[in-house]
Amino acid sequence: MAKQQQVVIVGGGVIGLLTAYNLAREGRAVMLLERAGLGQESSWAGGGIVSPLYPWRYSPAVTALAHWSQDFYPQLAQRLFGATGVDPEVHTTGLYWLDLDDEADALAWAAREGRPLSKVDVSQAHDAVPALGGGYSRAIYMADVANVRNPRLVKSLKAALLALPDVTIHEHCEVSGFVLNNNRVVGVNTATGSVFADQVVLAAGAWSGQLLSTLGMALPVEPVKGQMILYKCASDFLSSMVLAKGRYAIPRRDGHILIGSTLEHEGFDKTPTETALASLKASAVELIPALADAEVVGHWAGLRPGSPEGIPYIGEVPGFQGLWLNCGHYRNGLVLAPASCQLFADLLLGRAPIIDPAPYAPAGRLNAG
């Protein structure tokens, strides 16, 4: 594995995979190293709503990435499906928010940003989603919100990458640190030896902070546990995504329904708990009473890469030439991936960036450890 690579990417979640795909399509030789299996952490565990849960509560930095990604997702899915035959299933269902405390803020944000979010009578929500529980008095709706079937997106990205020339993927290959030449990062250390590269990209999700600390840099990315449950219903059972009291229901095309999610600061522990299972079931039945009679077919936990304000780190690390970050997407990795990875490719390849890169620049946002 000692061959010189143009780009080594540390982390095989959706961010690492799409970063690799964008660079490989531009002719870069790419090696991607993943400590476990591709996309088995946050990318696999999330719900896949292609919108922040409460988009109006985020800074313009997150909004800019989210808008670009939402508009780009359908063509990305089409391109991947065409190249691989694996459909990431971008499923446009719309989303109803019920009984929001900050409804006025949401509507003001939509007017300001030109997004198709509007107040609707709660009876309209019940007509559109007959399975919805009673007891809600207010609703707002955004028509064009989609969800992506994240495990299929990972599968599709892997297949698309392996079909490109000069791409190598090593799963179950943990990176323990970086190879330095003066202040330049020239590679990474793994259990099977060092891998040298012109550029190293850290896209290791919740593990990114730990890795960067080996260089004495403090990156405020920490694991935030989230638990989800899954039901299987008829394919037409739930026609739209619904969200109330911080919990959501997401329908897949085949009748699977995801209910999420908890927010827990438990370090790197991702054991599913009975407490969360009971809490998620209660939320499920409140949102959709008929789920009281449905069987839970899955319950899991994942670790989100928590970051201040959920603003990712995208760009070169100051003081360490050759080391780049694309990490810290917190709850919105799947939402922000297309824009983050396009912006990242623009910066690494020296092209005009799709949006202003300043808010995501690591400079000024990292501290010496």
pLDDT digits (tens, 9 = 90+) for 293-332: 999 999 999 999 999 999 999 999 999 999 999 999 999 9
How far apart are the C-alpha atoms of 136 and 96, rounded to whole Å? 11
Please give the angle made by the CA atoms of 1, 319 and 309, to the nearest 5 degrees: 95
Residue 152 contacts residue 178 (beta carbons within 8 Å): no
- The closest alpha carbon to 80, from 353, 349, 338, belongs to 338
The parent domain of residue 363 ranges over 5-46+152-220+309-368
* The residue to which tokens 């990795």 are assigned: 333
Q: List pLDDT tens digits, range 89-107.
A: 999 999 999 999 999 999 9
Q: List pLDDT tens digits, range 261-300.
A: 999 999 999 999 999 999 999 999 999 999 999 999 999 9
* The residue to which tokens 């509007």 are assigned: 118
Examine the domain organization and report whether 159 and 298 are in the same domain.
no
Confidence (pLDDT) at 4: 53
Domain-terminating residue out of 306, 327, 358: 306
Q: What is the mean pLDDT of residues 202-218?
A: 97
Cis ω before 261 (30° cut-off from 0): yes
Confidence (pLDDT) at 304: 97
Longest dimension (CA), the chain: 66
How far apart are the C-alpha atoms of 283 and 297, rounded to whole Å? 16
Q: List pLDDT tens digits, range 113-160.
A: 999 999 999 999 999 999 999 999 999 999 999 999 999 999 999 999
Residue 223 contacts residue 305 (beta carbons within 8 Å): yes
Residue 212 contacts residue 220 (beta carbons within 8 Å): no
The answer to whether position 51 is within a domain reads no
Examine the domain organization and report whether 161 and 214 are in the same domain.
yes
Examine the domain organization and report whether 354 and 257 are in the same domain.
no
Residue 320 contacts residue 289 (beta carbons within 8 Å): no
- The closest alpha carbon to 256, from 229, 286, 288, belongs to 229
The answer to whether position 321 is within a domain reads yes
The answer to whether position 266 is within a domain reads yes
Examine the domain organization and report whether 216 and 313 are in the same domain.
yes
Characterize 5-41 residue by residue with b for buried, 16 or more Cβ atoms within 10 angstroms of its Cβ, and e for exposed. bebbbbbbbbbbbbbbbbbbeeebbbbbbbbeebbbb
Q: Which amino acid is at 110?
A: A
The number of distinct structural domains making up the chain is: 2
Examine the domain organization and report whether 163 and 27 are in the same domain.
yes
**Reported confidence tier of residue 205, pLDDT bands at 50, 70, 90:** very high
Examine the domain organization and report whether 163 and 254 are in the same domain.
no
Q: What is the CATH number of the domain that holds 289?
A: 3.30.9.10
The answer to whether position 67 is within a domain reads no
What is the rounded end-to-end Cα distance, in angstroms, of the chain?
A: 30
- Residue 170 has a CB neighbour count (10 Å cut-off) of 18
Residue 315 contacts residue 325 (beta carbons within 8 Å): yes
The answer to whether position 260 is within a domain reads yes
Examine the domain organization and report whether 320 and 337 are in the same domain.
yes
Beta bridge partners of 31: 8, 168
- The closest alpha carbon to 139, from 114, 166, 112, 107, belongs to 107
pLDDT at 368 over 90: no
Q: What is the mean pLDDT of residues 213-236?
A: 96
Domain-terminating residue out of 263, 281, 306: 306
Examine the domain organization and report whether 136 and 227 are in the same domain.
yes
Tell me the average pLDDT of the chain.
Answer: 96
How far apart are the C-alpha atoms of 87 and 112, rounded to whole Å? 34
Q: How far is CA 307 from CA 24, 61, 221, 357, in A?
A: 28, 13, 5, 17
DSSP character at residue 321: B
| Residue 231, SS3 per DSSP | strand
Query: Could you tell me what percentage of the chain is helix, strand and coil, using 3-state DSSP and rounding each to the nearest 5?
Result: 35, 30, 35
The answer to whether position 90 is within a domain reads no
How far apart are the C-alpha atoms of 9 and 23, rounded to whole Å? 10
Confidence (pLDDT) at 369: 53
Examine the domain organization and report whether 167 and 298 are in the same domain.
no
Examine the domain organization and report whether 156 and 289 are in the same domain.
no
Examine the domain organization and report whether 290 and 240 are in the same domain.
yes
**Reported confidence tier of residue 367, pLDDT bands at 50, 70, 90:** confident
Residues in the chain: 369
Q: List pLDDT tens digits, range 52-85.
A: 999 999 999 999 999 999 999 999 999 999 999 9
pLDDT at 2 over 70: no
The answer to whether position 60 is within a domain reads no
**Reported confidence tier of residue 1, pLDDT bands at 50, 70, 90:** very low
Domain-terminating residue out of 306, 329, 357: 306
The answer to whether position 122 is within a domain reads yes
> Would strands 241-244 and 95-98 be described as parallel, antiparallel, or unpaired?
parallel
Examine the domain organization and report whether 291 and 171 are in the same domain.
no
How many CA atoms are closer than 13 Å to the CA of 134, on its beta-carbon side? 0
How far apart are the C-alpha atoms of 234 and 255, rounded to whole Å? 5
How far apart are the C-alpha atoms of 54 and 166, rounded to whole Å? 40
Q: What is the CATH number of the domain that holds 360?
A: 3.50.50.60
